[in-house]
Amino acid sequence: MEKLMHQLCVDRSVKQRFKEDPAGLLARYALSDEERTMVTDFDVAGMQKHGVNPMLTLGFWTENAPNRHPAAYMKALRGAAAAEGQVFSAGLKQ
């Protein structure tokens, strides 16, 4: 999953494929159904709880989310995982 997150941060062709056909792109990676859902739902809190590096979730959000504003990212982090203390801001003030 982290390899995919990294590619979605730095590779324009991967970002474009994700935008045009997320299911087709994700089929190329060995991901569980749960992981695919986290990616397509931009569930960054779930990704971090799953073990994805916070810098990768921030980069993924910043490059690909429909609302790329930092406040939207922080709002996405504030879910059940945040209440459990398992979410990191990757350098953003909370």
The predicted pLDDT at position 78 comes to 87
Residue 90 counted as domain residue: no
Mean pLDDT by 10 residues, the chain (94 residues): 96 97 96 97 95 96 94 85 55 49
The predicted pLDDT at position 79 comes to 67
Q: Which residues constitute the domain of residue 57?
A: 2-83
Residue 92 counted as domain residue: no
The predicted pLDDT at position 93 comes to 47
pTM: 0.81
50 token code pair = 């799953």
The predicted pLDDT at position 63 comes to 96
The predicted pLDDT at position 94 comes to 45
Residue 88 counted as domain residue: no
Residue 94 counted as domain residue: no
Residue 93 counted as domain residue: no
Domain count of the chain?
1
